[in-house]
């Protein structure tokens, strides 16, 4: 007997050897992890470079214009969903 739990030497070495076919899976996981980390670093660096070279006033102007366009679209969608009163009906009730 080898070890304190009654395991033989053969059982111990058999459980520590890798299973055939796991190496490609581990390699794929490592490549995916590397690509994910690299893409995160690239996104962070490009965002930093963008904010470094573009003045904040221009960014604020574009953001405010997008907020205005979005609110106008939302207002139009809201009012369009209520329905319009036909002109003939409006004249009869007036």
SS (H, E, C) the chain: CECCCCECHHHHHHHHCCCCCHHHHHHHHHHHHHHHHHHHHHHHHHHHHHHHHCCHHHHHHHHHHHHHHHHHHHHHHHHHHHCCCCHHHHHHHC
Q: What is the pLDDT of residue 81?
A: 80
Q: Which domain holds residue 64?
A: 20-81
Answer yes or no: pTM beyond 0.75.
Answer: no
Q: What is the pLDDT of residue 24?
A: 76
Tell me, yes or no, whether 73 lies in a domain: yes
The number of distinct structural domains making up the chain is: 1
Tell me, yes or no, whether 9 lies in a domain: no
Tell me, yes or no, whether 74 lies in a domain: yes
Tell me, yes or no, whether 33 lies in a domain: yes
Q: What is the pLDDT of residue 26?
A: 81
Tell me, yes or no, whether 13 lies in a domain: no
Q: What is the pLDDT of residue 63?
A: 95
Tell me, yes or no, whether 12 lies in a domain: no
Tell me, yes or no, whether 71 lies in a domain: yes
Q: What is the pLDDT of residue 3?
A: 52
Give 58-93 pLDDT, tens digit per residue: 999 999 999 999 999 999 988 888 776 666 666 666
Tell me, yes or no, whether 15 lies in a domain: no
């Amino acid at each position: 007997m080898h070890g304190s739990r009654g395991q033989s030497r053969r059982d111990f070495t058999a459980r520590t050897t890798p299973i055939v076919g796991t190496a490609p899976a581990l390699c794929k996981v490592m490549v995916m992890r590397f690509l994910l980390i690299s893409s995160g670093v690239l996104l962070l660096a490009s965002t930093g470079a963008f904010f470094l070279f573009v003045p904040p006033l221009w960014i604020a102007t574009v953001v405010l214009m997008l907020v205005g366009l979005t609110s106008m679209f939302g207002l139009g969608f809201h009012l369009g969903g209520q329905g319009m009163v036909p002109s003939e009906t409006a004249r009869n009730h007036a």
